[in-house]
Amino acid sequence: MVAVLGYSPQQITEAVQDMYTAVADRPDAHFHFPVGGQALRFLDYATADVDSLPQGVAASFAGVGNPFMADALHPGDTSLDIGAGAGNDSLIAASRVGTGGQVIALDLTAAMTRKLKYHADGRYPNVGVIQASAEHLPLADESIDSITSNGALNLVPNKRLALREMFRVLRPGGRLQLADVVINRPVNVDCDSDPRLWVECVVGATVEDSLLAMLGDAGFENIRIVRRLDYFAHSPSQQTREIAKSFGAHSIELRAQRAGRAPQWWQRWLRRCHPRRWLTDLHRRGFLGVATLTLALINCYGALAAVAILAALGAGVALTPSLWAGTIALLTILATLFIAVGYRRHRSALPAILCVIGTVLVLYALFIDYSAITEFAGFVFLAGAAGRDLYLRRREEAARLGLGRPESHVKTGVSGARTERR
C-alpha cells in the first residue's frame, strides 16, 4: 500500500532543523550525504580557501556543490548566503568581497548559526549572522548585491516564495550563485511530503528544467548552468545512491542575474500555462494517459451533450459523425499507448490488457455496430486501466524510496541524526 503521508511544511521544517542540528553538533556521526573536508575536496573548492577555514566550520560543511564555480561575487559586495550552515561559503565569500564588502550568513537552524557566530566573531568582522527562513528574508528590498546558496533550496517547502524573496532583496542586476540538487524525474505527491525523505535532499528537489523555469518566473535572467555533478555518487549510503540514481538526482551550479523588473502576474501565469510545460509535467508525472482519456470522454459525451443542449435552445448544430468518431478513436488509441508505457515502470501487463479491451470495445461501437452500452463499457475498462497504472506507478516509486519497508534500511538515531546500514 502506498503511504499517503501529508506532512505539513512545519513538520518538514522541524525535520530539517533536527537533521542540521546533528550536522552542526555531531559532524562525525554517520550521514547519508557527504559532510566535511572530504566533500569540500571532491567539490573542487580551492585548497587555499579550504585551508583558510576554521576546522570546526569545515567539519560541518554539508554543501552539495561549489557555488564559487559561478564566480558571481565582486569585491565590495553586500552578499547574502542563504542556508549558510556552519558558514564555509560565507567565510570564503568574506574574503571575496573583501574588507569593503559585507556578508550576511542566514540559516534556519539555530545550532548552525550558533556555530558560525562562534567561529566568525572577532576573526571575520565583515560577516553577520542571522537565524531566519529563506521564505521570509528579514532584509530590505534591493539591499543585496549578490547571493550564494548551497544545498538549501531543495530543503525549502515553498521554493517559489524563496525565489521571490531572493529577487526582492537583490538590487536590479544583482547576481546569484546557486548550487543545489535537482532531479530528472519528479517524486509524486504520495511521498513528496515525508519529512524523513525530504531531509535526504532528493525528495524536496525540483526537476532541473522546472527549477530554471521557476527562476525565470521569479524574474531572473541570463541563467547559466556552469557545472553538473554526480554528487550522490559520493554518498556513503548505498540506499541513498540507489534512490538518487532512480530519480536522476544530481547537483548543479548555476549563475543568474536579477532582471530590472519581475514579470507581471499575468506574464508569470502565461509562462506557467505554456502547453510545453504542461505536457512535460503530465508526462513526467505519468498523467498523460488520464489526460488523453479525459479528452476522449469530453469529446464523446461532451460533444453529444452540447449538441443536445443547443438543439433544445433551438440552434440546430449537426455533428459530423466521421470527425466525431475519428477524434474519439484517435484519443482512445493515444490514451492506450500512454498507459501501456507504464509497463516500463511497474512491469505489470494488466493496465495494457485492460486498455486494449477498452479500446476494442470503443472502436467496435464507433465503427462497426454502435451501442451506447458497449461504448460505455469500453470507457470503463480504459478508466480502470488508467487508475491501475497510476496506482502501480506510485507503488513502484514508494518501493524505490523505501516507504513501507522501514525495517529494511533506515533507523533514526539519537538527536535526529540518521544511521543506516552501509
Between 112 and 390, CB nearer to ligand SAM = 112
| Euclidean distance between CA atoms 107 and 113, whole angstroms | 6
Between 84 and 129, CB nearer to ligand SAM = 84
The full DSSP string for 175-218 is EEEEEEEEESSPPPTTTTT-HHHHTTTSTTPEEHHHHHHHHHHH
Q: Does residue number 20 form part of the binding site for ligand SAM (CB under 6 A)?
A: yes
- Give least dist CB 216 to ligand SAM, A: 22
Between 108 and 390, CB nearer to ligand SAM = 108
Name residue, grid cell 538527536: 415
Nearest to 66 by CA among 33, 95, 88: 88
**Site for ligand SAM (CB under 6 A): which residue of 88, 126, 206, 237?**
88
- Give least dist CB 88 to ligand SAM, A: 5
Residue 165: what residue type?
E
Q: Are 352 and 339 in contact (CB under 8 A)?
A: yes
- Give least dist CB 57 to ligand SAM, A: 9
**Site for ligand SAM (CB under 6 A): which residue of 27, 36, 63, 289?**
63
Say if residue 123 is exposed, middle or buried (CB neighbours under 10 Å; 0-12, 13-18, 19+).
exposed
Q: Does residue number 89 form part of the binding site for ligand SAM (CB under 6 A)?
A: yes
Site residues (CB under 6 A) for ligand SAM, limited to 106-165: 107-109, 112, 133-135, 150-152, 155-156
- Give least dist CB 169 to ligand SAM, A: 13
Neighbours of 319 (CB within 10 A): 12
Q: Does residue number 62 form part of the binding site for ligand SAM (CB under 6 A)?
A: yes
- Give least dist CB 195 to ligand SAM, A: 12
Between 36 and 351, CB nearer to ligand SAM = 36
Say if residue 350 is exposed, middle or buried (CB neighbours under 10 Å; 0-12, 13-18, 19+).
middle
Q: Does residue number 18 form part of the binding site for ligand SAM (CB under 6 A)?
A: no
Give the total of residues touching ligand SAM (CB under 6 A): 23
Cell of 375: 461504448
Stretch that binds ligand SAM, among 79-87, 169-177, 375-383, 395-403 (CB under 6 A): 79-87
Between 89 and 192, CB nearer to ligand SAM = 89
Between 204 and 402, CB nearer to ligand SAM = 204
The full DSSP string for 20-58 is HHHHHH-TTS--SS--SHHHHHHTT--HHHHHHS-HHHH
- Give least dist CB 63 to ligand SAM, A: 3
Q: Does residue number 69 form part of the binding site for ligand SAM (CB under 6 A)?
A: no
Nearest to 204 by CA among 366, 342, 9: 9
| Euclidean distance between CA atoms 263 and 141, whole angstroms | 16
Residue 68: what residue type?
F
Between 85 and 358, CB nearer to ligand SAM = 85
DSSP lists the bridge partners of residue 130 as 106
Q: Are 129 and 116 in contact (CB under 8 A)?
A: yes
Give residues in contact with ligand SAM (CB under 6 A).
Answer: 16, 20, 61-63, 83-86, 88-89, 107-109, 112, 133-135, 150-152, 155-156
